[in-house]
Amino acid sequence: MGIVDKSKKLINLFDKDLASRRKIEMKKSDILIVGGSAAGIVVGMTARQYYKDAKITLVRKEEQVCVPCAIPYIFGTLGSTDKDVIPDAILSKNGIELVVDEVQSIDRDKKTVATSRGETIGFDKLVLATGASPIVPPIPGIDLDNVFVVNKDIDYLNALLKSLNKVKDVVVIGGGFIGVEFADEFKKRGLNVSIVELLPHCLQLVFDEEFCIRAEKRLSEIGVNVMTNNRADRIVGDKKAEAVELSSGEKLKCDMVLLGIGVTPNTKLAKEAGLKIGEKRGIWVDPYMRTSDENIFAAGDCAEKTSFFTKKPSGLRLASIATWEARIAGANLSQLRKKQEGVIGVWSTIVRDLAMGGAGMTEKIAKDAGFDLFIGRATTVDKHPGGMPGAAEMNVKLIFEKKTERILGGEISGGSTTAEATNILAAFIKARSKVDEIVTFQMGTHPALTASPIVYPIVRAAEDAMTKL
């Protein structure tokens, strides 16, 4: 045997020994979580409550994780990405090991994942919390400089923040929550802002028309140019964005374009592992948040949703839903304890001082789903008497099904108490409360904190609805 052959033999023996030692030293966790935003964090925290001695590992690709719902506020109210970071201490305090790396593949047979840094991590139970990515439409000019999406990456957001220092005119494409909140924050910087929305109204997917009109009126009052029933056909410019051409033929001058038209679930890992994908392109899950592999769970924006009301697939994706799913998944990893009945959908937003919230079905969505409805409305002030500092008009709309007299949804606009009042509606919906049960709802009130018990708006709206029966 020659020197070359001997060398090859030694190298092969060394490689086998190294591979063997790597196999022995392979990282292993009882619970492995892929994804480090809201859902991933809450899965880990919940799992620690139920499984005290379990080894829990969370793998995420980001060095830092931001609070997703607060991203628009980086660019006005907060002024810095540093003020929108979820501290890693929340993981260490719960005994969760953090690995900053990217999972590239899942081997379901071996119950391992492979990472971009060449690591192999074994698991007993795996949770996919891979989130969603911004939709980027195939608009000509989409690749020009100063065209941004709402990316959760801190470095990307810092680049957007830096670019704003040289910007005067911004076009926001999309009039949903993200688009409206960004427009408001950009105005706080003194920028000229236009919103381009394809639908007849901003926020139309989550509010009925009268609430959408209130929001658009407030946007106009603060100087936002709202262009509804309009499509962005082209972004034009020499290297960087200079204007947006609309389907109406109008041309909006700009130095920057922000895309806020929704997200699509991150399911590449799941697809490549052969897991079932749902009708709305999320990872299919059962009521216990298990995927088509009983050892793999999914939660958050990557997971498929089912409507609480119709039991049909739902496209709702909210951080509040993600954490709700995460608590169910985290509790069920070793023993099935909790079951989800489908997403209700609870949300709120604010345009300067006008807060708006909704829970469940809008009137339009309920009618389109085939429900026969009756509606209750009430308007009052959210403190008592109305002369209390900070008092604001509160409008409540409640939607009931005639057949069962149960509440299907509600919408509220008003001041700072709006979001928590909306959460009350969500509790009624979850409990399948009937209209007369809401009329006799026992509330606590205080002059500086709530509406008057004499004209408590949720109760008054329910009383109004009863007159329609």
How far is CA 194 from its chain centroid? 24
Alpha-carbon distance 430 to 409, whole Å?
10
Alpha-carbon distance 469 to 457, whole Å?
19
Sign, CA dihedral 282-287-288-291, equals: negative
The CATH label, of 3.40.50.980, 1.10.260.40, 3.30.390.30, 3.40.50.300, for the domain at 353-466 is: 3.30.390.30
Q: Could you check whether 147-261 and 353-466 share the same CATH topology?
A: no
> Which residue bears the tokens 């809201």?
38
How far is CA 401 from its chain centroid? 28
| Phi, psi dihedral angles at 293 (to 5 degrees) | -110, 120
Contact 45, 330 (CB under 8 A): yes
pLDDT at 25: 60
pLDDT at 26: 80
pLDDT at 3: 42
Block means of pLDDT (10 residues each) for the chain, 469 residues, are: 46 49 70 97 98 97 95 96 96 97 98 97 98 95 96 95 96 97 97 98 97 98 98 96 96 97 97 98 98 98 98 96 98 95 97 98 98 98 94 97 98 96 98 98 95 97 96
Q: What is the fold, at CATH topology level, of the domain defined by 10-133+265-331?
A: FAD/NAD(P)-binding domain (3.50.50)
Instruction: Give the C-alpha distances (Å, rounded to integers) separating 409 from 244, 290, 396, 405, 461.
Output: 37, 28, 11, 12, 12
Instruction: Give the C-alpha distances (Å, rounded to integers) separating 250 from 48, 147, 172, 229, 244.
Output: 56, 19, 15, 12, 8
Could you tell me the residue ranges of all domains in the chain? Answer: 10-133+265-331, 147-261, 353-466
Which has the closest alpha carbon to 374: 436, 454, 331? 436
pLDDT at 4: 42
The CATH label, of 3.40.50.1980, 3.50.50.60, 3.40.50.720, 3.40.50.300, for the domain at 147-261 is: 3.50.50.60
pLDDT at 12: 54
Which has the closest alpha carbon to 153: 223, 65, 264, 270? 65
pTM: 0.92
Sign, CA dihedral 320-321-327-330, equals: negative
- List CB contacts of 105: < 8 A, sequence separation 6 or more: 113, 114, 269, 272, 273
